[in-house]
Chains A and B, each alone.
Chain A
Amino acid sequence: MNAQELDDVYTQLCHGLTAAGEAETPNVLARLVLLLLLQVPLAEAASKAVADALAGAGSAT
């Protein structure tokens, strides 16, 4: 997807999570992760994404 499309989907996500509410947000994100994992063709890429996300855990950056 191009930059504009990314921005559109990102915005859709943010608004959608806001509408879902803070309590429901983790559940929505968990489901989103699973659905996106199904779209990734190579396990290596998925595993790297998980590792990158975890590398940011516990820090502000």
Chain B
Amino acid sequence: MPPNAKPAVVDHNRAPDGSAPQPSYEVVFGEYFPYSVHPPQLPASVRDGRDGRRATVAIVGGGPTGLTLALDLANHGIASVVIEADATVCSGSRAGAFTRRTLEIMDQLGVGEEIAASGLGWNRGWTYYRDALVAESLIPDRPDQRFPATLSQLQNLIEERLVARAAAFEELVDIRWHSKVVGFESGAGGARLRIEHPHGPYDMEADWVVACDGGRSMIRQSMGLTMEGQRHAGRYAIIDVRIDTSDFPVGRRWWFDPPSNPGGTLIMFKKPGGMLRFDYQLRDDEPTEEAMQPERVLAKVRAHLAMLGVDKPWQPVWLSLYRASAMTLPSYRHGRVLFAGDAAHLVPIFGVRGMNSAVEDAHNLAWKLAWHIRGLAADALLDSYSLERVAAARENLRYASKGAEFMSPPSAPHRLMRNAVLALSARHPALTSLMSPRQHSANDYAGSPLNQATADEAAFDAGPRPGMALPDGPLQRLVDGAPVDGDLTQLLGPCFDLFHFAADRGPSPALAASVASLGAVAPIRLHTLATSGTPATAGIDAIDPGGRLHGLYGAVAGACYLVRPDGHLLARWKTVPSETELHSALAHALGRPAAAA
């Protein structure tokens, strides 16, 4: 065993389905990441065992879900207290692949480009059966996209960037490290939390609580809530090693029944910073404690690298055990308590739907909670968070579970059919869709109660339907009076965004007047996109060179797309809508009577 290896068996909280506690097998071999260690500071409002300042929103859990939510709320002017038990961001190897949608959301929080710049973009995958390549997959993509289809990056780095960004919102984001929630009670008016801290325990009250405290959520357990779903067959050892990766391809490689892991599977992908990650399936007949002994795991890595003919020095940095679960709470809202991320759902990692869906949870919730708190939206808008994200989770679980079953067939017939797919795929590419990890794309809120199908909806032959996330594309926009190349999603803000596709017809003063008037209902901005002229033309906000965006959105002159603050479409029109039509759409979404609005 390497000299620094520290076998650690920790955490005996109940599993998400309420079953007996499961040990973890995390081993840290050396420094995985240059963590910033945060001191146990508390604000002056905490004294004599009590926080004298009532929080508007208490976010339990300072991982990626909680941090995304805190920054997103800050964008809407809402303060939050983030309660994090640890002194650092997440430790070790966690989520490693991030979708374009996640990067777009991170961009709206001010950290997208720096996260992308130090990561590795990829859209390819290779599947091997035994020792033969049987399929090469490509995530459908467009070359004009600002962010890659998928980015290999460290979750630790993303969290660090979010924490650093929070410093710019000192008045709105209060992150309390070393703070563990040990008691919780909630009611119609809010919640009280009992927090353990090195400076002494204290009680805190909050109007709203969002549980972002992970798979073993204390909040969920204290409320007696249990997730529904299943735990998939198959245990996986996760190992990160440091090695010269300069000649490794960027992308995901999957082996089924390779010589290095007979009868099992192995995934390998390149991470930034000269690391490789291996996820390999343990044998069914192998006790976990034996299989996870570091020397046994490292032997497996050695065997796989030898199989690939890789003869380079390498050092292990991280080892842990993973079991796939596909579970969700049936509702993410319980009065003043909301659930997001792993506290709400557990998704198998195959298919990249874990942290990515958690970020989408936070982005969906932030504007709704903020606008309700600000008095702009009725309470029912928060119910739509649960409706939309539970539906999204169920879709994610369906696809990710198919991936998990392909990786670890739960029965002999499953294995028979899976092996038949692998055996035939090289000669019959149509079968490769059955093995696809079903890479994550933005969820479609097709059944959302917020969606509005206008009378024009059926006339569109392209473009996102209500409920879908906006597809990105290049345009030229004005920045400080000068035209700059940019992208559509860069125009989105913490408000409704109305995109007017003006083609070559110029701006619409009537529409501009309508939007100005609707500012009394809700924050809303107008963006007029033209296909000719310059962004300096009065009333034109961006130029769509060659009309590519117009084509992508099925837009003729006058078409308008009304977009929610989370980047999903609310409604669209083929011609410039009237103020009444816009007013009605907003009022419906915000749960406010049109007349009063």
**Residues in A lying within 8 Å of B, measured CB to CB:** 26-27, 30-31, 33-35, 38
| A30–B430 touching, CB < 8 Å | no
Q: In the docked arrangement, what's the CA distance between A38 and B416, Å?
A: 18
> CA–CA, A31 to B428, complex, Å?
11
Chain A interface mostly helix, strand, loop or mixed? helix
A30-B428 in contact (CB<8A): no
Q: Which of B206-214, B268-276, B418-426 contacts A (4 or more CB under 8 A)?
A: B418-426
Q: In the bound complex, what is the Cα–Cα distance between A26 and B413 (angstroms)? A: 9
Assess the B416–A34 pair: CB atoms within 8 A: no
B 415-457 to A, binary, CB cutoff 8 A, 1 in contact else 0: 0110111011000101100000000000000000000000000
Q: Looking at the complex, which one of B420, B423, B431 makes contact with A38 (CB distance below 8 Å)?
A: B431
The complex places the Cα of A30 from the Cα of B431 at a distance, in Å, of 13
B residues 404-419 in Cβ contact with A at 8 Å? 416-417, 419
Chain A min CB distance to B127 (Å): 16
Set of chain A residues within 8 Å of B420, measured between Cβ atoms? 27, 30-31, 33-34
Report whether B430 and A38 are in contact in the complex, using a CB–CB cutoff of 8 Å. yes
Q: Are A35 and B424 in contact (CB under 8 A)?
A: yes
Q: Which residues of B contact A33 (CB under 8 A)?
A: 417, 420
Compute how far the CA of A58 lies from the CA of B423 in the bound complex, rounded to whole angstroms: 28
Least Cβ–Cβ distance between A31 and chain B, in angstroms: 4
A49 to chain B, nearest CB (A): 15
Residues in A with CB closer than 8 Å to B424 are 31, 34-35
Q: Which chain B residue lies CB-closest to A26?
A: B416
A30-B419, A31-B424, A34-B428 given; name 11 further pairs at CB < 8 Å.
Answer: A26-B416, A27-B419, A27-B423, A30-B416, A30-B417, A30-B420, A33-B417, A34-B421, A34-B424, A35-B424, A38-B431
Q: Summarize B's interface: helix, strand, loop or mixed.
A: helix
Residue of chain A at shortest CB distance from B421: A34
A34, B416: Cα distance in complex, Å: 11
Q: Which residue of B is nearest A37, CB measured? A: B431
A27 with B430: CB separation less than 8 A: no
B425 vs chain A, min Cβ distance (A): 10
Contact B431 A34 (CB under 8 A): yes
Contacts of A31 in B (CB 8 A): 420, 423-424
**Would A35 and B428 count as touching, CB distance under 8 A?**
yes
The 3 closest A-B pairs by CB, nearest first: A30-B420, A31-B420, A30-B416
Distance in angstroms between the alpha carbons of A26 and B417 in the assembled complex: 9
- Determine the chain B residues whose CB is within 8 A of the CB of A30 once the complex forms: 416-417, 419-420
Instruction: Tell me the bound Cα distance from A3 to B428 in angstroms.
Output: 28
CB nearest neighbor in A for B416: A30
By a CB distance below 8 angstroms, the chain A residues around B417 are 30, 33-34
Q: How far is the CA of A33 from the CA of B431 in the complex (A)?
A: 12
**Min CB–CB distance B336 → chain A (angstroms):** 45
Report how far A22 CA is from B11 CA in the complex, Å: 49
A-B residue pairs in contact (CB < 8 Å), sample of 19: A26-B416, A27-B416, A27-B419, A27-B423, A30-B417, A30-B419, A30-B420, A31-B420, A31-B424, A33-B417, A33-B420, A34-B417, A34-B420, A34-B421, A35-B424, A35-B428, A38-B428, A38-B430, A38-B431
Separation of A30 and B434 alpha carbons in the complex (Å): 14
Complex CA distance for A58 and B417, rounded to whole angstroms: 20
- CB nearest to B412 among chain A residues: A26
How far is A34 from B433 in the complex, measured between Cα atoms in Å? 12
> Which residue of chain B is the closest to A28 with respect to CB atoms?
B420
User: What's the least CB distance linking B25 to chain A, in Å?
Assistant: 35
B424 shortest CB reach to chain A, Å: 6
Bound together, the chains give a CA A51 to CA B118 distance in angstroms of 51
For the complex, give the distance between the alpha carbons of A30 and B424 in Å: 10
Bound Cα distance A21, B322 (Å): 39
Q: Mark B529-552, 1 if CB is under 8 A from A, else 0.
A: 000000000000000000000000
User: A39: shortest Cβ distance to chain B, in Å?
Assistant: 10
- Residues on A with beta carbons closer than 8 Å to the beta carbon of B430: 38
A18 to B118, CA, bound (A): 58
A2 CB, min distance to chain B CBs, angstroms: 27
Considering the chains assembled together, what is the distance between the CA atoms of A34 and B434 in angstroms?
Answer: 10
* Alpha-carbon distance A27/B424, docked complex (angstroms): 11
